[in-house]
């Protein structure tokens, strides 16, 4: 592998990076940028280009072989030892977000009310009443958020599937059939690649 390296400085961001270039047999240069100053150039290049090769492989398999498509709709029981998100935690988290959104809206109304300097004398009583109502709502919402956060803190975010309530349990898609078909697809891809390489050698 023909490699060259130089440092490059990003003026705006104010930091240095390593630019590594690979020269192919056809004269094409492929560049990669890294902040890894620990590993050797050959290690970085080999690792990154191998990763690109894998990404291109899966992209090709998805486009031409449908490797990511469902093979069937059969289901099977979930493994009881798998950890899943606790429904109670999810519910509390959702309630906190919802209550925080209400709190933000009421705070904004309260702030806008205080900034209004065109209050007529006859509307002072109405202004004071509305201000008091909003303040009370804000305080109640703040207390509600505190209680919910305290409950969420005491609730495990993840639990074992076996600990889920029965009404929350679900099944997963069957894996054996998909693994078998994916294996066939990968064999077909490898065979196609080998054939393309043979034809290219004959062409050269």
For the stretch 145-166, pLDDT in tens is: 999 999 999 999 999 999 998 8
Helices assigned H by DSSP within the chain: 41-64, 87-115, 124-153, 176-203
pLDDT score recorded for residue 44:
87
Q: Is the pTM of this model over 0.85?
A: no
pLDDT score recorded for residue 71:
65
Give the tens place of pLDDT for each residue, 10-21. Answer: 888 788 888 888
Mean pLDDT of 83-109: 92
Tell me the three state secondary structure of residue 118.
coil
CA–CA distance, 132 with 85 (Å, rounded to integer): 40
Which residue reads 């935690």 in tokens?
A: 89
Instruction: Compute the C-alpha angle 136/137/140, nearest 5°.
Output: 85
Angle separating helix axes 87-115 and 124-153, nearest 10 degrees: 160
**Exposed, middle or buried: residue 92 (CB in 10 Å: 0-12, 13-18, 19+)?**
buried
């Amino acid at each position: 592998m023909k490699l060259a390296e130089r440092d490059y400085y990003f003026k705006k961001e104010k930091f240095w990076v390593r630019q590594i270039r690979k020269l192919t047999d056809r004269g094409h240069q492929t560049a990669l940028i890294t902040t890894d100053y620990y590993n050797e150039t050959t290690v970085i290049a080999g690792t990154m280009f191998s990763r690109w090769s894998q990404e291109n492989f899966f992209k090709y398999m998805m486009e031409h072989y449908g490797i990511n498509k469902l093979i069937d709709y059969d289901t099977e029981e979930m493994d009881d030892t798998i950890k899943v998100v606790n429904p109670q935690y999810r519910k509390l988290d959702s309630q906190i977000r919802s209550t925080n959104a209400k709190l933000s809206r009421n705070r904004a109304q309260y702030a806008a009310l205080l900034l209004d300097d065109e209050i007529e004398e006859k509307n002072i009583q109405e202004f004071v009443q509305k201000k008091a109502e909003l303040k009370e709502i804000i305080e109640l919402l703040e207390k509600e958020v505190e209680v919910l956060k305290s409950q969420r803190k005491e609730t495990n975010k993840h639990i074992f599937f076996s600990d889920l309530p029965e009404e929350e349990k679900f099944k997963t898609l069957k894996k054996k059939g998909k693994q078998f078909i994916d294996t066939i697809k990968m064999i077909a891809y490898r065979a196609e690649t080998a054939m393309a390489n043979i034809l290219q050698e004959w062409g050269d």
